[in-house]
Chain A
Amino acid sequence: MRTLLHDARRQLAVLGVMAVVLATVPFWLDGSARTVAIRILISAGVGVGWNVMGGFAGQFSFGHAAYFGIGAYSSAWLLVNHQISPWIGMVVGAVLAAAFGALTGWLSFRYRLRGAYFALATFAFAEMLRLVVQGQGWLSGTQGLQVPVLAESSWWMMQFSTSSPNYYLVGLGLLVVLLTITILLFHSRRGMFIVAVREDQEGAEASGVDATAHKVLAVAVSGAMTAVMGTFFVQVFFFIDPQLAFGPAESVAILLPAVVGGTGTIWGPVVGAAILIPLGEWTAKVVRDPPAFLDVVAGRSGLDLMFFAIVLIIILLFLPKGVYGSLAQRWRR
């Protein structure tokens, strides 16, 4: 037990150093590069959230957009209609997402959905939410919600001028909190039970671990984490609609950083996000405004995503445990 606590302290120390170094970024990076940095933080954050359920608990989710959307819509609706601070909306969204996750998770585990069936059920829940929200007038249906722009920036309303480094710092702060929760959780007794259930459910149950309760706990924590990033997303981009919030593309965007970086590892989602977002940005930029020798690709929509897909296929085939996961494994040998 002592060595494990020691390990947690070491990981927290790494996180602390990383946070301090990354906090300097907005002071030497600005303009569109800083927006990319913020998108990396969001992607890493949702990936960390997904990883709790899909990686550590081993319950593959193909519908995390449900939690992301609940977080985004809760805070956006409270802000637009009742002028309530997004910080409160963030807490409300996290609680609602945890409740939704606990309910759907409990139902799925109770009816013994596993593997492909479980993945399809999570997908179906997210799609249901998308279709329901699309038909709701009080949530502006397919039009989506637009965050009103304030005259001056405000910490309480989580709204800053575009030149301010604060969006980045808020995002970094949230990511550090999510990573701290993950590190502490999976060095605690509860977290180890969650991993034990993933490794051998019957064995864990025979040792007296309530498998269903621990899986539901993982889903709820994971959902709440993802919802927090949903709120932050709305505050950064001022807009949310059902497709953006609950669509299948969002579900994939949430699980990609974790899978590409390495599922079930603390740092995997962060590494994955730091690879995927700049890569996507860079390919989009090359197509928009190519260097002289690549003139033919100018304005060819579709080419950037094709390239992205090919890189993804190569990573999946040659580094099946993810970039960080595969490297970490080689190190330990």
Chain B
Amino acid sequence: MSDVGASRLANLRTRLSVPRWAWGVVLALLVVAWRWSEVTDLVASGPGRTIALQALLTGLLIGGVYGLVAMGLSLIFGVLEIINFAHGAFLTLAMYLTWVLSDNAGIDPYLTLLITPILMFLVGAAVQRVVINPAMGQPLENQLLLTFALAILIENGLLLAFSGNPRSVRLDYANTSIGPVDFPLRIGGAIIELPRIVAFVGGLVVAGALFAFLNRSRIGTAIRATGLNRTGASLVGVNVDRIQVLTFGLGTAVAAAAGVLVLPFLTLDPTTGGQFNILSFVIVVLGGLGNVGGALVGGILIGLTQEIGGLLFPGQSKLLPVFIIFIATLFLKPEGLFGGDAQ
């Protein structure tokens, strides 16, 4: 450090500075080169192209839902600055609620979109008030473990109540035709089921509603203000405690809406939400911690990564390419693709 000569030399040397995104491009090219035979298989032959198209469409559609789940998580992180490991468990709870409503009370699963998110909003708000709020000033590991313990509590409560047997909701109108369009939809050999389309479109609608609420309403403005600067917000008269309760409830309700939307094409057991949880963390970091809009785009990117990565690395877990993207993002662009407010 004290060596003046060395620092002068450093000034003289023209340092080769590579922008960080360039490393991302290099990484992508390396993967393509490494998996060249798989890539050519998918592009060159007719059946290969059909498989690729199917993966693209499936990834895009499920990605919209991933994005919605991650938006809730990102909102909670942006305002409360806690990593919520119970987010996936809340999602599972919402799915069971919907299953009970449709299986026992005979309500159409999609109609529960008007019931489940509201109930889950109340659950989330109550949990924040009773369990999370007292720990707001505590170190990161305590908050993280607290949400983790909540996840164990919810998952095992569901196991106790409903057993581990897989459940599912079947729509009797999944194979139908609306006007001239027949479902499941066929595009160039790829098959798309109606519930997946509904989930994607529904996800976008809920995301739009959340955007409008955050940007237009008074409470939404207060939430954004609290996320930007807690002290400043309380100085101008925002009740920060109440905003935190509201935000946690809102984030949970968004996850609940996503849960309702995916239930018709997933089988449900007490651990179903766990996989969404891990993906949501990846998506939230990719989109920028606390950046709600980035989470939606990140979700679609991760949905595509998962499906296409599954084709490029056959025999490996679909999550592997997702984690490669995750680590690359953490190191090359920790603020996320679209910038976040953390760090």
* A binding-site residues for B, Cβ under 8 Å: 54, 60, 62, 107-108, 111-117, 119-121, 123-125, 127-128, 131-132, 134-135, 248, 252, 255-256, 259, 263, 300-303, 305-306, 308-310, 312-313, 316-317, 320
Contacts and interface: CB of A to CB of B under 8 A. Distances in A.
B141 A263 contact: yes
A302 B145 contact: no
Contact of A309 (B153, B160, B281, B324): B153
B27 interface: no
Interface in B309-324: 315-317, 319-320, 323-324
Contacts of B77: 116
A117 B327 contact: no
Contact of A124 (B138, B157, B330): B330
Contacts of B149: 309-310, 312-313, 316
B150 interface: yes
Nearest to B135: A317
A121 B323 contact: no
Max chain A Cβ within 10 angstroms of own Cβ: one of B138, B164, B327: B327
A76 to B, nearest CB: 21
B320 A128 contact: yes
Contacts of A310: 149, 153
A316 B139 CA distance: 11
Is chain A's binding surface mostly helix, strand, loop or mixed?
helix
A303 B160 CA distance: 7
B317 A135 contact: yes
A320 B135 contact: yes
A92 to B, nearest CB: 25
A124 B146 CA distance: 20
B263 to A, nearest CB: 21
A116 B140 contact: yes
Contact of A135 (B155, B281, B315): B315
Contacts of B60: none
Contacts of B145: 252, 255-256, 259, 312, 316
Interface residues of B, number: 46
Contacts of B83: 116, 119-120
5 contacts: A62-B144, A111-B334, A121-B327, A128-B324, A316-B145
A107 B146 contact: no
Given A121-B330, A131-B323, A255-B141, 6 more contacts: A60-B139, A116-B81, A117-B343, A119-B140, A125-B327, A134-B316
B142 interface: yes
Interface string B280-296: 01100100010000000
B99 interface: no
Contacts of B144: 60, 62, 119
Contacts of B153: 306, 309-310, 313
A115 B326 CA distance: 16
Contacts of A116: 77, 81, 83, 140, 289, 342
A120 B285 contact: yes
B85 to A, nearest CB: 9
Given A60-B141, A309-B149, A312-B149, A317 B285 contact: no
B156 A306 contact: yes
A290 B317 CA distance: 41
B32 interface: no
Contacts of B342: 116-117
A306 B155 CA distance: 9
B140 A124 contact: no
Contacts of A301: 159-160, 164
Contact of A317 (B131, B270, B323): B131
Contact of A117 (B150, B156, B285): B285
Contacts of B315: 135
Contact of A131 (B81, B281, B317, B330): B317
A60 to B, nearest CB: 5
A107 B278 contact: no
Contacts of B270: 302
Contacts of A115: 140, 343
B152 interface: yes
B84 to A, nearest CB: 11
B135 A316 contact: yes
Nearest to A304: B156
A89 B83 CA distance: 37
Given A125-B327, A313-B146, A259 B141 contact: yes
Given A125-B327, A309-B149, A313-B149, A302 B320 contact: no
A300 B327 CA distance: 40
B289 A309 contact: no
Contacts of A62: 144
A256 B156 CA distance: 19
B122 to A, nearest CB: 20
B142 A107 contact: no
B173 interface: no
Contact of B157 (A60, A263, A306): A306
Nearest to B282: A124
A124 B327 contact: yes
Max chain B Cβ within 10 angstroms of own Cβ: one of A117, A125, A252: A117
B330 A117 contact: yes
A116 B285 CA distance: 10
In order of increasing CB-CB distance, the 7 nearest A-B pairs are: A302-B159, A302-B156, A302-B160, A309-B153, A309-B152, A305-B156, A312-B149
A129 to B, nearest CB: 10
B148 interface: yes
B323 A320 contact: no
A310 B150 CA distance: 8
B128 to A, nearest CB: 13
A284 to B, nearest CB: 12
A134 B317 contact: yes
A302 B330 CA distance: 36
A310 B146 CA distance: 10
A317 B160 contact: no
